A = this chain, B = another copy of it.
């Protein structure tokens, strides 16, 4: 029959070989950045690509394998500073900062990267560089590993935190004002610091990078022991 389907899309059979892993990954990243993790659906992805839902399965075993590949591709974007000179502390800060930038630019990458083990070459290169820098900053073997993990933990946490408060600011209007109102309405006897610092607290929402720099700087200082 030629009766039109419920209008989903007037797509006819697409020429063969229009799809390949790269095109799929591009579309996946686009979809993820534009609509977020919960909209990252095999069906939505196929729609984005203008193909049938099952077409993607010819190139990836399933959503899990696809998600792994997306994480890989995003990690490959992290640019490592090649400059071999300079204060180790500064260079550490640089590498970690570029990781944080990745998470900020691709908020949904975060969930992908934190919800699955970090395999892959890109991750390996970053790790090796950081460990080397920490060692050359004078840390012992175990200490360097601990410091590396602490840096990763802080970065992931900062990114999760930032992403969440940014999402909130986008969704609701005038969040800062509302927070301030709620804080100043609290009983000062029970919550003296909270009411006192209401102005500073309500401003914290939209200062992701500044906040990250602050914490990272202090953490590096604490880790390197000066």
Residues of A at the B interface (CB closer than 8 Å) are 114-115, 117, 124-125, 127-129, 131-132, 135, 141-142, 144-147, 149-150, 152-158, 160-161, 164, 168, 186, 190-194, 196-197, 200-201, 204, 211, 214-215, 217-223
How far apart sit A199 and B172, CA to CA, in the bound complex (Å)? Answer: 48
**Contacting pair A204 B157 (CB below 8 A):** no
Which of B127, B191, B211, B223 is the one whose CB lies under 8 Å from A218?
B223
Other A-B pairs, 10, CB within 8 Å; known A144-B197, A147-B218, A157-B160: A127-B194, A128-B193, A142-B200, A149-B215, A150-B215, A154-B154, A154-B215, A218-B219, A220-B222, A221-B222
Known: A124-B191, A141-B197, A215-B146. A153 touches B164 (CB 8 A): no
List of B residues within 8 angstroms of A131 by Cβ: 193-194, 197
**Contacting pair B204 A149 (CB below 8 A):** yes
List of B residues within 8 angstroms of A141 by Cβ: 196-197, 200
Which of B132, B160, B223 is the one whose CB lies under 8 Å from A114?
B160
**Contacting pair B204 A164 (CB below 8 A):** no
Known: A124-B194, A222-B218. A158 touches B168 (CB 8 A): no
List of B residues within 8 angstroms of A222 by Cβ: 217-223
Question: Which chain B residue lies CB-closest to A163?
Answer: B114
Known: A164-B114, A222-B218, A222-B222. A153 touches B142 (CB 8 A): no
**Contacting pair B186 A124 (CB below 8 A):** yes
**Contacting pair B157 A158 (CB below 8 A):** yes
Closest 4 CB pairs between A and B? A157-B157, A222-B222, A150-B215, A218-B222
Known: A192-B128, A200-B142. A153 touches B149 (CB 8 A): no
CB distance from A224 to the nearest CB of B (A): 9
CB distance from A120 to the nearest CB of B (A): 12
**Contacting pair B215 A153 (CB below 8 A):** yes
How far apart sit A163 and B73, CA to CA, in the bound complex (Å)? Answer: 24
The contact sample of 9 A-B pairs, CB cut-off 8 A, is A128-B192, A129-B193, A141-B196, A144-B200, A146-B204, A147-B215, A150-B219, A219-B219, A222-B222
